[in-house]
Structure 1
Amino acid sequence: MLIFITGGVRSGKSSFAEMVAVYHGNKGYRLHYVATCEQNGAEMAERINRHREDREKSGYAWKTWEQPRDIHDLSAAFAHEDVILLDCLTNLVSNELFAGWRENRNQWEEAAFREMVFQKIMDGITELKKQCEVLIIVSNEVFQGLLPDDSGTFYFMQMMGHLHQHIVRQSHWVYQVEFGMPILRKGYDADENQCTACTV
């Protein structure tokens, strides 16, 4: 099963995603947390530690994997008894797309490189989904402002949009979280064996 959860910064999407993971974990599945962010600042380090402490206090046994890129490398570590929470797609895309920027390797300017990154991420998601019982992907809504002036941000947003569309099409459940409240956008009807779009 694939569950996609999106929302703005500090919208409560990560907390909701953990609740969804625990719900499925209560069915006897093991809980895994795939963290894709890199600790590149004091604020990010504080947020990472806070989320880790929240999971430790939850009373559930989470296994955490630090994987800022190359998520396909993890697929062999999982089995059908596992629930995987990947948090988040936004950091994963940034890490993959802008790899090498510190060395002034602006590969993201090349269309072939961007296509390779897109396919690499989608292939990694497909591999994880095949290996586990439930895959939950958290992502950010980055499309509500004006179009960016710089090409790097434009290509990043373009890739995020394409990934969101592809992932949503494959997802059984899609939620958008606003102000800590989840809104169901797509749900899976087990009786009809099909997905239906939801509106509010």
Structure 2
Amino acid sequence: MARGQLIFISGGVRSGKSTYAETIVRTFGTTRKVYIASGQAYDEEMKERIERHRDDRLQDNWFTIEQAHKMGNAIEKLQPHDLVLWDCVTTWLANELYEGWETNNMCVDTAGCIEAKWESLQETIDQMLNTVDLLTVVSNEVLDDFVRDERYQAWLGKIHIWLVEKADQAIEMENGLAFRRK
């Protein structure tokens, strides 16, 4: 079975990385376009923003999967030959690391918790690549994010290194310009 292509795109906030990723997916082929969204609505403003983005994608014929946690659950919603855009690693990582913050029992403070989630994510990406024709993964730069926690930055760096090594193409975005790093 042929493996799907993996494209990893990283860039600063408002670098144009998500728009560029959408363009890649649109021009890659004619099969179903799938958008995996990692955002969560913690307040009304975020809820409205998520709904607006979902409606915009629907008008452009995207199938949206809302998957803030447990990325493996998205696999059952994928079809062979889908063209997938996952936006974004940074949001997923924050969701997973700080899961349990409401009860002061965060994953990041629990031995082995994030390691298990990371292992599951690696397996999930491999499974996705065995199903879809294209998986485009978007992420913010390691030090250009809203989370100022060294543990978060270290995990994001580790994930980026793995994705760059695994990717068929690795692209860095800056001011709307794409620079291929691999």
TM-score by length of 2: 0.88
Equivalent AA in structure 2 for residue 90 of structure 1 = T
Query: Post-superposition shift, 1:53?
Result: 4.2
Report the AA paired with residue 67 of structure 2: Q
Indicate yes or no: 2:80 matched with 1:84.
no
Cα distance change of structure 1 residues 13 and 47 upon mapping to structure 2, 3 Å threshold: farther
1:48 is aligned to 2:50:
yes
Aligned residues: 177
**SS of equivalent to 1:174:** strand
Mapped partners of 1:29, 1:74: distance in 2: 18
> What per-residue deviation string (whole Å, max 9, x for no partner) do you get for residues 96-117 of structure 1?
1111111111331234222112
**Which residue in 2 is equivalent to 1:136?**
136
Deviates more, 1:70-79 or 1:91-100: 70-79
| AA aligned opposite 1:40 | Y
Question: How far is the alpha carbon of 1:126 from its aligned partner?
Answer: 1.6
Any conservation in 1 of the 2:96–2:107 contact (CA below 8 Å)? no
> In structure 1, what is the equivalent of residue 178 of structure 2?
182
Give the letter for the 2:120 counterpart: K
Q: Secondary structure at the match of 1:81?
A: coil
Contact 1:70/1:124 (8 A) holds in 2: no
| Corresponding residue for residue 197 of structure 1 | none
Q: Secondary structure, in 3 states, of the residue corresponding to 2:22?
A: helix
Q: Which residue of 1 aligns with 2:97?
A: 97
Query: Is the alpha carbon distance of 1:134 and 1:72 closer, same or farther for their aligned partners in structure 2, counting shifts above 3 Å?
Result: same
Distance 1:144 1:99 in 2: 21
12, 15, 20: which one pairs with 2:19? Answer: 15
Deviating runs (4+, > 4 A) in structure 1? none
The 5 Å alignment of 1:57-136 reads 57-58=59-60, 61-136=61-136
SS in 2 for 1:37: coil
Shift in Å, 1:119: 1.1
Q: Residues 44 and 8 from structure 1, CA distance in 2 versus in 1: closer, same or farther, beyond 3 angstroms?
A: farther
Q: How far, CA to CA, are the matches of 2:20 and 2:135 in structure 1?
A: 14
> Any conservation in 1 of the 2:57–2:63 contact (CA below 8 Å)?
no
Rate the CA distance shift 1:41–1:178 in 2: closer, same or farther, 3 A. Answer: farther
Counterpart of 2:157? 161
Name the structure 2 match of 1:5: 9
**Aligned-partner residue type, residue 134 of structure 1:** L
1:42 shift after superposition: 4.4
What percent identity do the matched residue pairs reach? 33
**Structure 1, residues 95-148: CA drift from partner, whole Å, max 9, x if none?**
111111111113312342221122122222222122111001010113259xx5
- Say which SS state the counterpart of residue 84 (structure 1) adopts: strand
What SS does structure 1 have at the residue aligned with 2:14? coil
- Higher RCO structure, 1 or 2 (CA under 8 Å, sep 6+): 2
Runs of at least 5 residues in structure 2 that lack an aligned partner in the other structure: none
